Amino acid sequence: MTATQEPRRERRTVGSVAALIITFQVLVRQIVTRSRLIALGLMGAIVVVVGWAVGMSDSTDRDLDPLEQSVRISVNLGLTVVVPVVALVFAAGALGDARDDGTLVYLWLRPMRRWPVAVGAFAAALVVALPLTVIPVVATAALIESSGELVTAVAIATTVAVVGYTGLFLLLGSLLKRSIVWGLAYIIIWEGVAAGLGRAAARLSIRGYARSVITDRVGVEVASFDITQGWGIVAPLVAATAAIMLTTWRLNRMDVA
State how far Cα 84 lies from the chain centre.
6
Question: Above 80 in pLDDT, residue 111?
Answer: no
CA nearest to 176, candidates 73, 250, 108: 250
Rounded to an integer, the average pLDDT of 146-172 is: 92
pTM score, whole prediction: 0.89
pLDDT tens by residue, 67-88: 777 888 888 888 889 999 999 9
Domain residues of the chain, as ranges? Answer: 13-252
pLDDT tens by residue, 208-225: 888 888 888 877 777 666
Full DSSP string of 164-192: HHHHHHHHHHHH-SSHHHHHHHIIIIIIT
Q: What are φ and ψ of residue 113, in 5° steps?
A: -65, 160
**Per-residue confidence (pLDDT) for residue 172, from 0 to 100:** 94
**Per-residue confidence (pLDDT) for residue 12, from 0 to 100:** 64
